[in-house]
Structure 1
């Protein structure tokens, strides 16, 4: 997954135009991609728009909820579960 594209889309989604938060946002994006690949076992496909947009939405939620103790929103949970199911089903 191209983290530069994910970072760019996260900034667009959040309405951030400057580069001031790029270091922090980039760390979140890299953490999300690593978590999905290493911990969740999802093989992210750069050409798959649903994978790209899930990374964007997940990283955006992580950034926006950094000070809250609430659980992941249901729509992200459902999408994550579907990605895990599809990823496990596609391995030989």
Structure 2
């Protein structure tokens, strides 16, 4: 599963070499933890959750150089996932 996320992240970033794989794996783990801190229980067997982790990790990687804020698309992805999580918890 980790390699799948790593491959997706590297595709997003346009990176083909393996020189930063250890860093990217740590970045994916950190992104997962940050999303969990927002109250999201991730299931990386679900494509939407996979892509959320990858998109968040890609943003984290890019923002360290550019300082760009969270994109509206990624912000909406996170909000939708938080709402889905809360709705799941609220079911009787």
Q: How many residues align?
A: 90
Q: Which has the higher contact order (CA 8 A, sep 6+)?
A: 1
Distance 2:52 2:31 in 1: 10
Distance 2:82 2:50 in 1: 15
Match of residue 22 from structure 2: 23
> Would you identify which runs of 4 or more consecutive aligned residues in structure 1 move more than 4 Å?
none
Instruction: Note the C-alpha offset of 1:5.
Output: 2.0
Do the aligned partners of 1:3 and 1:30 also contact (CA within 8 Å) in 2?
Answer: no
> TM-score w.r.t. structure 1 length?
0.86
Unaligned runs of 5+ residues in structure 2 are none
Instruction: Note the C-alpha offset of 1:43.
Output: 0.9
> TM-score w.r.t. structure 2 length?
0.86
Distance 2:58 2:18 in 1: 16
Give the stretch that moved more between structures: 62-71 or 21-30: 62-71
Give the stretch that moved more between structures: 41-50 or 62-71: 62-71
Match of residue 70 from structure 2: 72
Unaligned runs of 5+ residues in structure 1 are none
Match of residue 9 from structure 1: 8
